[in-house]
Amino acid sequence: MSEHQEKSIHVAGEWRTAASGATREVLDPADATVLAVVAEGGAEDADAAIAAAHEAFGNGRGPWPATPVAERAALLRRVADLLRRDREELGLLESRDAGKTLEEGRVDVDCVADAFRYFADLVAGESGGRVVDAGSPDVHSVVVHEPVGVCALITPWNYPLLQASWKIAPALAAGNTVVVKPSEITPLTTIALVRLLVEAGLPDGAANLVTGPGDPVGARMAEHPLVDLVSFTGGLASGTRVMRAAADTVKKVALELGGKNPNVVFADACTTAEGFDTAVDQALNAAFVHSGQVCSAGSRLIVEESLRERFVAELARRADRIRIGRGTDPGVECGPLVSAAQLARTEDFVASALAEGAVLRAGGERPDEPGLADGWFYRPTVLDRCHRGMRIVREEVFGPVLTVETFRTEDEAVALANDTEYGLAGAVWTADAGRARRVAGRLRHGTVWINDFHPYLPQAEWGGFGKSGIGRELGPAGLAEYRESKHVYQNLAPRPVRWFKG
């Protein structure tokens, strides 16, 4: 059964259809059936939502930016409580919409609630500004922070609820008004999140939503003169287009554009049975959680040469045993890819790798189980004997594909890990504490895990070096993205300067 949500566009407190009347079918990636029907917005809808956000901001005097910080924080905490209340419903919706397992969907809801609560606590605990010593008792000088204004928030299809929260929570905490555009492939939980914002009491116009494609909706948001900031998470090519579109109006830009993330394993991490089992297990988690459709996926295994054969053999054996299927089915460990296009892209990458000399150790094909034939499934794949010259080692696949490279020395390991135009995340596995600190210090990536992979904390900044993007999400810097700094200098004893004598 499909759910009809033709009124999925939210502008100035009103749920409405697209101005053109167009709709889009949202498909279930497990069997390609229609999961929901939503409004297919266009440039006219984007303009209306931006105008509503601009009016609601009111040059910083609108209902939401003028709301005292304690009340803004209280509303964000109410949203966190509502998310906990609806955890099962939202987790199921995220699982069906994005194809991930039900447990992953539930975890995502928990993380979203944590993000809203973190930013509520962060703003509530701040002082009134930073006093600057001007060197005179007759001067009061303070730096204060104010909201940027209208924020255009463009989110990806892989973590629709989580990525929306990483933008919406700090933007609202800072007192901005927002226009959100979720991916047209997975919009359902973002629609549900906006409904929770309304239920929590957010004023009309403070949070607006336009469902529709990147072109024209996202493109219009990026270029619009009334938008003060655009925050985009997605692919590199789309991110550069957003940046170009924003340039003419010199608006603030925040970009999170993915990565090609190394997972470096030294042999000394695997000298015990427990150490070996843990490193292999974590390599599977790094590469195959959510079918590899994770910006920080550890898709590049860089393993010490002396360990390679033993490690890759066990990795391949376990990869072949991963149970794939519909994410809501009991016991399923890996769901489908999000779309037919993503499946075709993954198949193309694997074919190119094999043509360039990679050795297939596991997967490399669609499953042959009859119940999976209609979905966009692909077996977890391990490709050995890979090198930097291969396209699959350089470019982001966003599928369940792990490449294997080897090294002999610490310097070679670091050079391989940094040999990428991206720099989002990476990990190092070693039993040597000194080596762990040295390698972590030399890796040019925004997040570095030591003897772990994938955890993040809402209080710690997230973002990357190089072409992984600009700016940070989460942490104090994630809040700062949505603020302007203002220096207020007050002369308490004004007198003539007499610079000009006449």
Kindly list the catalytic residues: 256, 295
CA 456, CA 165: separation in Å to the nearest integer?
14
The DSSP code sequence of 184-233 is: SSS-HHHHHHHHHHHHHTPPTTSEEE--S-IIIIIHHHHH-TT--EEEEE
Contact 222, 242 (CB under 8 A): yes
- The arrangement of strands across the sheet holding 469-470 comes to 14-16, 9-11, 207-209, 177-181, 150-154, 229-233, 252-256, 469-470
Q: Write down how long the chain is.
A: 502
* 331 phi and psi angles, rounded to 5 deg: 85, -10
CA 57, CA 177: separation in Å to the nearest integer?
6
Indicate the DSSP class of residue 385: S
Following CA atoms 317, 318, 320, 322 in sequence, which dihedral angle do they give, to the nearest 10 degrees?
170
Q: Is 274 exposed, middle or buried (0-12, 13-18, 19+ CB in 10 A)?
A: exposed
Q: Are strands 177-181 and 150-154 parallel, antiparallel or unpaired?
A: parallel
CA 214, CA 461: separation in Å to the nearest integer?
27
Q: In 3D, which of 154, 141, 216, 219 has the Cα closest to residue 190?
A: 154
| Residue appearing with tokens 């101005």 | 19
- The arrangement of strands across the sheet holding 483-491 comes to 130-131, 139-147, 483-491
Indicate the DSSP class of residue 28: P
Residue type, 6: E
For residue 1, count other CB atoms closer than 10 A to its CB.
6
| Residue appearing with tokens 């054996």 | 317
CA 372, CA 380: separation in Å to the nearest integer?
15
The SS3 assignment for 339 reads: coil
Q: In 3D, which of 42, 44, 98 has the Cα closest to residue 213?
A: 42
Contact 427, 449 (CB under 8 A): yes
CA 475, CA 385: separation in Å to the nearest integer?
39
CA 122, CA 272: separation in Å to the nearest integer?
43
Q: In 3D, which of 207, 156, 216 has the Cα closest to residue 182?
A: 156
Distances (CA, A) of 133 to 20, 126, 142, 328, 489: 57, 19, 8, 59, 10
Contact 110, 103 (CB under 8 A): no
